[in-house]
Amino acid sequence: MNAHDFTLAGARLRALGSGALWWPDQGLLCVSDLHLGKSERVARRGGAALPPYDTRDTLTRLAADLALTHARTVVCLGDSFDDLGAAHALPEEERLWIARLQAGRRWVWIEGNHDPGPVDLGGTRLWELPLAPLTFRHIAQRATSGEVSGHYHPKARIRTRARVISRPAFLADSDRVILPSYGTYTGGLDCTAPALAGLMRPEALAILTGRNVHPLPMPRAQEAP
Amino acid sequence: MGFVATDYATLIWGLDAVTDPAPLFDRRALREGLDGWLAENALMKRTFRASATIAGLIERNLPQSAKKTGRQATFSSDILYDTLLKYDPDHLMMRITRDEAMRGLVDFGRIEEILDRIGGRIDLIRLPRVTPLAAPLFLEVGKVSVAGSADDRLLAEETARLMQAAGLE
């Protein structure tokens, strides 16, 4: 499996190349910031008419991760829908698809800033999910430990000898892990941004996602060139 | 890792030094690679970017207008291209992109003609300096970078070095 293993508060976790977090001992798969229905929302608000296949693509990747892990529990870490309108406007086909993915497993929608209310899809809605020794919530809080969160869509840029490469990344230290966004049409925030740099401990790791995962010490701003 | 072409020369760069040019011009590999290359091709993506900009899907990055549009969502044309290629390859914009890219750029008949003519007579010359014809290529705009396996190798190298420097491995 293309993955990087690490521990958080004693829990053995596995960062997958897809951007999902797998907790084998609990049979739990966690994904963040799916932003389902983003193309619909952008078009509704007068933006560009983007190709409306993002939800399908995100769900295809999620289905692949579920088939790979046989997860018993799925935690969507918030911003699962681009907004509540987008959640309600999902085409029937995509709703049924979500229902099929949910069949036979526990499914938790953590509420995010984009989707802070009920949606008429199966699964439990929670503000946060404590599951000792970890807590799942959308936005990281300072002075917590064993926290799994999303929200920031972290990315990391690496200067290699030939060119600079930027990829979505997990950020992990001994207190928390921040997941990259899983949605197809989502951008990212560089991990040198103050919001992220200030949150992570000095020894934090960035785990680049992609065909191969690459862990490295989290890049910081004004590093010696 | 990338290429740039002008009317009279082509510059291609990669991670490893070329010691045997013959496999690069292998006819079967060229033909098989053409379709995949055309689909995943950075050149197609660049052509697509132009039509996506005209269609209003994405905004052109201009130095002055940067960060002033007030529009929060900007989209990577590569992601849009990949999504359309996967789910709607015959979309009008994809057809336009293909037509644009094919125009005079990729003509396999001509490639085969040249292969016949050179018939394996390829000179590999290592020079101690950049040649006068090659030098302008380094300054040429429109370099197309190709995201292939080189990226993963570069990342693996660099992250291993950083991890070691941090005493983590």
Name which of B48, B75, B86 to mutate to probe chain A: the one with the most chain A Cβ atoms within 10 A of its Cβ: B75
Q: What is the average per-residue pLDDT within A193-207?
A: 91
Domain that holds residue A71: 3-217
The chain A residue lying nearest B89, using CA atoms, is: A51
| pLDDT at position A120 | 81
Distance from CA of B120 to the nearest CA of A (A): 31
This prediction has a pTM of 0.80
Q: Is the pLDDT of residue A1 over 80?
A: no
pLDDT classification of A64: cutoffs 50, 70, 90: very high
Range in A45-59, A100-114, A146-160 the model is least confident about: A45-59
| pLDDT at position B69 | 47
Q: What is the average per-residue pLDDT within A84-109?
A: 91
Share of residues in chain A with pLDDT > 90 (%) = 60
Asked if the C-beta of B54 comes within 8 angstroms of chain A's C-beta atoms, the answer is: no
| pLDDT at position B122 | 83
Q: With contacts defined as CB-CB under 8 Å, which chain B residues touch A48?
A: 55-58, 75
Share of residues in chain A with pLDDT > 70 (%) = 98
| pLDDT at position A153 | 94
Distance from CA of A130 to the nearest CA of B (A): 30
Q: How many CB atoms lie within 10 A of CB B156?
A: 13
Asked if the C-beta of B75 comes within 8 angstroms of chain A's C-beta atoms, the answer is: yes
Instruction: Go through chain B and tell me how many residues it has.
Output: 169
Q: Among all chains, which residue has been given the structure tokens 């497993």?
A: A105
Q: Do A53 and B156 touch (CB under 8 A)?
A: no
Structural domain total, chain A = 1
Asked if the C-beta of B131 comes within 8 angstroms of chain A's C-beta atoms, the answer is: no
Give, for B12, the enclosing helix (H) or strand (E): strand B10-13
Q: Is the pLDDT of residue B58 over 70?
A: yes
Distance between CA B165 and CA B162 in Å, rounded?
5
Distance between CA B119 and CA B128 in Å, rounded?
27
What residue spans define the domains of chain B?
Answer: 2-165
Are A24 and A214 in contact by the 8 Å Cβ rule? The answer is no
| pLDDT at position A108 | 94
Q: With contacts defined as CB-CB under 8 Å, which chain A residues touch B60?
A: none
Distance from CA of A78 to the nearest CA of B (A): 19
Q: What is the average per-residue pLDDT within B56-76?
A: 58
User: Of B1, B86, B152, which has the smallest distance from its Cβ to A211's Cβ?
Assistant: B152
User: Of B74, B155, B168, which has the smallest distance from its Cβ to A165's Cβ?
Assistant: B155
pLDDT in tens, A127-168: 999 998 999 999 999 889 999 999 999 999 998 888 888 899
- Classify residue A223: in a domain, yes or no: no
The chain A residue lying nearest B91, using CA atoms, is: A51
Taking every pair of C-alpha atoms in chain B, what is the biggest distance, in angstroms? Answer: 57
Q: Is the pLDDT of residue A224 over 50?
A: no
| pLDDT at position A13 | 96
Nearest 10 degrees: CA dihedral of B30, B33, B34, B36? 180
Give, for B152, the enclosing helix (H) or strand (E): helix B149-165
Strands (E), chain A: 3-8, 11-16, 21-23, 28-31, 73-76, 106-110, 124-126, 128-131, 134-137, 147-149, 154-159, 164-172, 176-178, 189-190, 205-208, 214-217
pLDDT in tens, B99-141: 777 665 566 677 778 888 887 788 888 889 988 888 888 888 7
Q: Is the pLDDT of residue B150 over 60?
A: yes
Q: Do B58 and A48 touch (CB under 8 A)?
A: yes
Distance between CA B83 and CA B77 in Å, rounded?
10
Strands in B144-145's sheet, in edge-to-edge order, are B10-13, B2-5, B144-145
Q: Do B158 and A54 touch (CB under 8 A)?
A: no
Asked if the C-beta of B150 comes within 8 angstroms of chain A's C-beta atoms, the answer is: yes
Q: With contacts defined as CB-CB under 8 Å, which chain B residues touch A220?
A: none
pLDDT classification of A105: cutoffs 50, 70, 90: very high
Asked if the C-beta of B156 comes within 8 angstroms of chain A's C-beta atoms, the answer is: yes
Distance from CA of B115 to the nearest CA of A (A): 31
Is the preceding omega at residue A133 within 30 degrees of 0, hence cis?
Answer: yes
Q: With contacts defined as CB-CB under 8 Å, which chain B residues touch A183?
A: none
Q: What is the average per-residue pLDDT within A156-185?
A: 90
Are A154 and A197 in contact by the 8 Å Cβ rule? The answer is no
The CATH number for A173's domain is 3.60.21
Distance from CA of A145 to the nearest CA of B (A): 22
Q: Among all chains, which residue has been given the structure tokens 């396999």?
A: B108
Are B149 and B157 in contact by the 8 Å Cβ rule? The answer is no
Residue B8 half-sphere exposure toward CB, CA atoms < 13 A: 6
